[in-house]
């Protein structure tokens, strides 16, 4: 019985991991494809810093000594420290909602069988 419970738990964790990796990300209707893709942890969706920032028209300045990124889009800038994100496959993933909303955009989530995040970004100011 104990082994069966472990097997079921392992399968469930695998399914959850697969589902989390299957979240599609779009910016103004264009799909953002990156490796790693979107990671959802504790209700927060994280996306690769540079891929997401550049997809919404942002420019990334990585400040190694301070361990932070400054992302600017037009006149709007946001500073995000590495500790606010997560590392996957040696890449920094940052909270998608924080990044998009700080640069003037909106975020919508569609769950279900094909989960999707849509970023709607106005023209840069």
**30 falls within a domain:** yes
**97 falls within a domain:** yes
C-alpha distance from residue 116 to each of 23, 34, 52, 75, 107 (Å): 5, 14, 14, 28, 10
- What pLDDT shows up at residue 123? 87
**pLDDT tens sequence across 30-46:** 999 999 999 999 999 99
Is residue 28 scored above 50 in pLDDT? yes
Structural domain boundaries, residue 106: 2-120
C-alpha distance from residue 29 to each of 34, 90, 102, 105 (Å): 16, 28, 19, 13
**56 falls within a domain:** yes
CB-based contact 67:83 (threshold 8 Å): yes
- What pLDDT shows up at residue 124? 82
**125 falls within a domain:** no
45, two tokens: 């969706």
**72 falls within a domain:** yes
103, two tokens: 């640069």
- What pLDDT shows up at residue 1? 52
Contacts of 121 (CB under 8 A, 6+ apart): 27, 28, 56, 57, 73, 100, 103, 104, 105
**34 falls within a domain:** yes
**pLDDT tens sequence across 58-99:** 999 999 999 999 999 999 899 999 999 999 988 999 999 999
**112 falls within a domain:** yes
- What pLDDT shows up at residue 10? 35
DSSP-based three-state secondary structure for 19: helix
**103 falls within a domain:** yes
Q: What is the mean pLDDT of residues 99-122?
A: 92
Q: How many structural domains are present in the chain? A: 1
Alpha helices by DSSP H, listed for the chain, are: 2-21, 49-55, 96-102
């Amino acid at each position: 019985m104990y082994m069966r419970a472990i097997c079921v738990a392992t399968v469930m964790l695998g399914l959850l991991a697969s589902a989390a990796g299957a979240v599609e990300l779009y910016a103004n209707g264009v799909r953002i494809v990156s490796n790693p893709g979107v990671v959802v942890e504790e209700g927060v969706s994280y996306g690769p810093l540079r891929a997401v920032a550049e997809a919404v028209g942002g420019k990334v300045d990585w400040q190694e000594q301070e361990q932070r990124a400054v992302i600017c889009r037009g006149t709007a800038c946001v500073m995000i420290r590495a500790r606010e994100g997560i590392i996957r496959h040696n890449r920094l993933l940052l909270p998608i909602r924080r990044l998009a909303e700080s640069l003037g955009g909106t975020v919508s989530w569609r769950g279900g069988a094909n989960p999707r995040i849509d970023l709607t970004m106005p023209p840069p100011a």
